[in-house]
């Protein structure tokens, strides 16, 4: 599927799906949209909303999850205890790391599973995703102008 042909809907879909546990690179698609002349503010907003909603989905799935699911996906009780200690120590502040490749997506799932405070967690996820896309745009703009 060519996401560029779908316009902002394509950018939203890639951004949403890339925030779930399905590996996609929304950053590359954002740069492609910028390269062909889409408005930067619109691109940043659409990518941020899509990626944030994808992370919120992870959080919600984690919230309703149970330990049997984690064991099924290879997380032993030992792993669960280590995550629990880590999340209890830092709590909703870990939402600020949701943008980090490879760890951000499972982290949002874990934040939901261990039931961190909802509003602060979701706010930090939104801010971190938006800041990441702004930085990507700023780097892109610096390199190509």
Q: What is the pLDDT along the chain (145 residues), one digit of tens a residue?
A: 587 888 999 999 999 999 987 888 899 999 999 999 999 999 999 999 999 999 999 999 999 987 777 777 677 788 778 888 888 889 899 999 999 988 888 889 889 988 999 999 999 999 999 999 999 999 988 887 5
Domain residues for 38? Answer: 8-144
Domain count of the fold of the chain: 1
Residue at 38 is within a domain? yes
pLDDT, residue 97, reads 94
Residue 24's Cβ-count burial label (10 Å; 0-12, 13-18, 19+) is middle
Residue at 2 is within a domain? no
* Cα distances (Å, whole numbers) of residue 66 to 53, 55, 82, 126: 22, 18, 16, 25
Residue at 1 is within a domain? no
pLDDT, residue 80, reads 79
Q: Give every CB contact of residue 76 below 8 A, 6+ residues apart in sequence.
A: none
Report which secondary-structure segment, H or E, holds 126: helix 118-144
Residue at 3 is within a domain? no
Secondary structure letter of residue 37 according to DSSP: T
pLDDT, residue 57, reads 96
pLDDT, residue 88, reads 84
The answer to pTM > 0.85 is yes
Torsion angle, CA of 83/88/94/98, rounded to 10 degrees?
40
Residue at 102 is within a domain? yes
Tokens representing 72 are 């099924």
pLDDT, residue 145, reads 59
Tokens representing 16 are 């949403």
């Amino acid at each position: 599927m060519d996401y560029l042909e779908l316009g902002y809907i394509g950018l939203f879909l890639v951004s949403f799906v890339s925030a779930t546990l399905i590996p996609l690179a929304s950053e590359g698609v954002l740069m492609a949209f910028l390269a062909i002349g889409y408005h930067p503010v619109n691109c940043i907003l659409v990518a941020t909303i899509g990626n944030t909603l994808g992370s919120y989905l992870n959080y919600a799935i984690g919230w309703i999850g149970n330990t049997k699911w984690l064991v099924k996906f290879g997380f032993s009780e030992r792993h669960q205890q280590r995550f629990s200690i880590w999340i209890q120590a830092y709590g909703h502040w870990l939402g600020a790391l949701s943008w980090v490749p490879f760890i951000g997506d499972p982290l949002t799932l874990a934040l939901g599973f261990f039931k961190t405070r909802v509003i602060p967690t979701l706010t930090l996820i939104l801010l971190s995703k938006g800041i990441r896309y702004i930085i990507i745009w700023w780097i892109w703009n610096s390199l190509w102008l």
